[in-house]
Amino acid sequence: MDWQTLDSPPLLPPLYWRAALKRKISGSTLPDKGLRCRVSLDPRHVAAYRKVCGFADGPILPATYPHILAFGLQMQLLTDRQFPFPLLGLIHLSNRIRLHRPLGGVSELTLAVHAENLQPHAKGATFDLVTTAHDALGLLWQAESRMLCRGVKLDGDAPDNTRPAPVDVSELTHWKAPADIGRRYARVSGDYNPIHLSALTAKLFGFPLAIAHGLWNKARLLAALGEHLPAANVEIDVEFRKPVRLPGEVTLSASAAGASGELQLKGAGDIEHMVGTWRPIA
Distance from C-alpha of 238 to C-alpha of 57, rounded to nearest angstrom: 24
Give yes or no for a contact between 244 and 257, defined as CB atoms under 8 angstroms apart: no
Instruction: Look at residue 63 and tell me whether its pLDDT is greater than 90.
Output: yes
**25 DSSP assignment:** -
Fold of 162-282: Thiol Ester Dehydrase; Chain A (3.10.129)
- The stretch 16-35 carries a mean pLDDT of 93
Where in the chain are the domains? 1-161, 162-282
- The stretch 256-274 carries a mean pLDDT of 95
CA-wise closest residue to 93 among 277, 281, 235, 274 = 274
Q: In what order do the strands lie in the sheet with 124-135?
A: 2-6, 33-40, 108-121, 124-135, 138-150, 91-99, 234-240, 272-279, 261-267, 248-254, 170-177
H helix runs in 62-114, sequence order = 65-78
If pLDDT is split at 50, 70 and 90, which confidence band does 137 have? Answer: very high
Backbone angles phi, psi at 116, to 5 degrees: -155, 180
67-121 pLDDT, tens digit per residue, is 999 999 999 999 999 999 999 889 999 999 999 999 998 999 999 999 999 999 9
Full-model pTM: 0.94
If pLDDT is split at 50, 70 and 90, which confidence band does 206 have? Answer: confident
Burial of 228 by CB count in 10 Å (0-12 exposed, 13-18 middle, 19+ buried)?
A: middle
User: Is 162-282 the same fold as 1-161?
Assistant: yes
Fold of 1-161: Thiol Ester Dehydrase; Chain A (3.10.129)
Instruction: Look at residue 282 and tell me whether its pLDDT is greater than 90.
Output: no
168-188 pLDDT, tens digit per residue, is 899 999 999 999 999 999 999
